[in-house]
């Protein structure tokens, strides 16, 4: 499971020392990636062998598209291998999936392949039909992954049901990242069984330590 994990630190109070500790712990745990705020890039700590991910339009998504694209381009220049962008959830709830798709496409243009673009849908706010449509918009715009949650919205984080809906919509063609509120091995295992191909974890050590030996 470690090879599926984005070891994450997105707290606004995170210091450079906290980020360095995250990177060091990531190396100890053997995870795939670290995910940090864009202001923490470029990473000062030795991160050899780790994928570097960051976030864009985070956490609200209520940022104009050119600003998201500019933030993404700067993140790439600062060494990000992967970018997790937040959609305008209000546009999705209003049924304006054309706007959602255009927003994603603009960020995709700023995050050229082989860099990876993940699209955060804030799935706890969306009914199944809207979540499916948002996944389809992300696929049409060229995203590599769809992702459940920021982990910052009071509506909640990842759920098995949301991952199942996302897997039905794009599984096998796009990756599916579950994130937000995954605190133990049981929850992580259930999400992977539902179709998650990547996990965003801040309490990575506790999750991995809880796995059967």
State the catalytic residues: 84, 147, 177
Collapsing DSSP to helix, strand or coil, 34 comes out as strand
Triad 181, 187, 191: Cα angle to 5° = 95
Both tokens of 80, joined, read 């990000």
Tell me: cis bond preceding 32? Omega within 30 of 0 counts: no
With CA atoms as reference, report the closest residue to 114 among 80, 150, 138, 71: 80
End-to-end CA distance of the chain: 12
């Amino acid at each position: 499971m470690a090879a599926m994990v984005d070891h994450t630190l997105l707290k606004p109070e995170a210091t450079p020392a906290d980020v360095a500790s995250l990177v060091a712990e990531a190396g100890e745990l053997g995870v795939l990636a670290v995910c940090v705020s864009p202001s923490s890039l470029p990473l000062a700590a030795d991160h050899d062998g780790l994928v570097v991910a960051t976030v864009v339009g985070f956490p609200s998504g209520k940022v104009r598209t050119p600003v998201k694209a500019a933030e993404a381009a700067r993140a790439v220049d600062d060494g990000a291998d992967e970018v997790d962008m937040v959609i305008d959830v209000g546009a999705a709830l209003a049924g304006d999936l054309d706007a959602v798709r255009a927003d994603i496409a603009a960020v995709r243009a700023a995050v050229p392949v082989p860099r990876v673009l993940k699209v955060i849908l804030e799935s706890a706010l969306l009914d199944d039909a809207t979540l499916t449509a948002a996944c389809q918009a992300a696929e049409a715009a060229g995203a590599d992954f769809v992702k459940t949650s920021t982990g910052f919205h009071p509506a909640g984080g990842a759920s098995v049901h949301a991952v199942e809906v996302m897997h039905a919509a794009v599984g096998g063609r796009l990756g599916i990242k579950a994130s937000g509120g995954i605190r133990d091995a049981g929850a992580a295992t259930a999400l992977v069984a539902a179709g998650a191909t990547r996990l965003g974890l801040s309490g990575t050590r506790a999750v991995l330590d809880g796995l059967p030996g």
